[in-house]
Amino acid sequence: MSYTACMPELPEVETIRRTIEPLVLGKTILEIRLLDTSIAQGTPERVRGEPVGTTITAVNRRGKHLILMLDNGKGLALHLRMTGSVLLEPPTHNPRVRAELLLSDDVRLYFNDMRRLGVMELIDDLDARMEKMGPEPLSDEFTTEALQSRLARHRIPIKAALLDQHIIAGIGNMYADEALFLSRLHPTTPAAELSLEQVARLWTALREVLTLAIANQGASIDTYVLPSGERGTAYDCFNVAHKKGAPCPRCGTPLERLMVRKRGAYYCPVCQRPDKPQNSEA
């Protein structure tokens, strides 16, 4: 396998959230058209029926889920999975619209999804539904200590731990690789073996890569685009993700890719050595 698809992660979904919230806030849902009913989690009748007539009170994000909050207390959640995007106009590129939301004041949202893996779900009790998900990495509750205590319970490779949505929410392949590079950790290091100092570095790196990526409106490497159809430029700031063979920005060694639990991991074999104790500053 030479190619890894890049699914939208926290920065991409957060970018969509920030873009559409001012446009849909206070709007009433007039109709939900499911052009592909397999998008509905639960029955299509419920997903397209119950929200009609409700008003959108907020647009939230939890992990990689985008959630339209409805005035009946329920949430209409979208999970973009591999290739989903939310658009304000019908797509001209790779069109495969699976659902359309018609809102008051002539606002429309199109859910485009080439590989048809995305899901739309009406959730009655959001807190209960999201309870098992790990903390949001940009929230106040996500402290170094919180990260340390969560990682300490897992002997799996740190790369796999970062991807586990029960340990920490919203991180996927790209930002895990970027954070591990910044914190100089080898992707296969067992999560539970990280020192407090290494965890602290990882914590800082996670916040840094996510914040920077949001500022650049996400990474349009694969099918992800902004609701306007424009591209997010976060990829321009990447150090290692999807850059196999390119020189390491820190030491010049060609970057490599290895498989960690069936997922590709891009890293620098010199800056991210597996066994050597890591120095605090290069």
Tell me if 271 contacts Zn ion by CB under 5 A. yes
Tell me if 248 contacts Zn ion by CB under 5 A. yes
Catalytic status, residue 9: yes
To the nearest whole angstrom, how small is the minimum distance from the Cβ of residue 271 to Zn ion?
3
- Cα(68)–Cα(60) distance, rounded to whole angstroms? 6
Q: Which is nearer to Zn ion, 246 or 259 (CB)?
A: 246
Distances (CA, A) of 11 to 49, 65, 100, 121: 31, 11, 23, 21
Q: Which is nearer to Zn ion, 142 or 267 (CB)?
A: 267
- Cα(102)–Cα(125) distance, rounded to whole angstroms? 24
Query: Chain-centre distance of CA 41, in angstroms?
Result: 20
Tell me if 268 contacts Zn ion by CB under 5 A. yes
Sequence-ordered list of residues with C-beta below 8 angstroms from that of 181, at least 6 positions apart, any chain: 205, 239, 240, 266, 267, 268, 271, 272
Site for Zn ion (CB under 5 A): which residue of 93, 251, 254, 261?
251
Catalytic status, residue 8: yes
Site for Zn ion (CB under 5 A): which residue of 146, 233, 270, 273?
270
Tell me if 250 contacts Zn ion by CB under 5 A. yes
| Active-site position among 81, 129, 250, 263 | 263
To the nearest whole angstrom, how small is the minimum distance from the Cβ of residue 216 to Zn ion?
23
- Cα(14)–Cα(214) distance, rounded to whole angstroms? 7
- Cα(61)–Cα(47) distance, rounded to whole angstroms? 19
Across the strands, what pairs with 111?
86, 99
**Residue that the structure tokens 């539904």 belong to:** 129
- Cα(269)–Cα(130) distance, rounded to whole angstroms? 37
Tell me if 56 contacts Zn ion by CB under 5 A. no
Neighbours of 74 (CB within 10 A): 18
| Active-site position among 64, 74, 184, 257 | 64
Catalytic status, residue 64: yes
Query: Minimal CB distance to Zn ion: which residue?
Result: 248
To the nearest whole angstrom, how small is the minimum distance from the Cβ of residue 278 to Zn ion?
13
Catalytic status, residue 208: no
| Active-site position among 8, 137, 187, 227 | 8
To the nearest whole angstrom, how small is the minimum distance from the Cβ of residue 246 to Zn ion?
11
Helices (H), 104-172: 126-130, 144-151, 158-163
Asked if 134 and 10 count as a contact pair (C-beta separation under 8 A), the reply is no
Q: Which is nearer to Zn ion, 112 or 278 (CB)?
A: 278
- Cα(261)–Cα(265) distance, rounded to whole angstroms? 10
Site string for Zn ion, 84-123 (x = CB under 5 A): ----------------------------------------
To the nearest whole angstrom, how small is the minimum distance from the Cβ of residue 238 to Zn ion?
14
Q: Which is nearer to Zn ion, 263 or 273 (CB)?
A: 273
Q: Report the interface residues with Zn ion, using CB under 5 A.
A: 248, 250-251, 253, 268, 270-271
Q: Catalytic site residues? A: 8-9, 64, 263
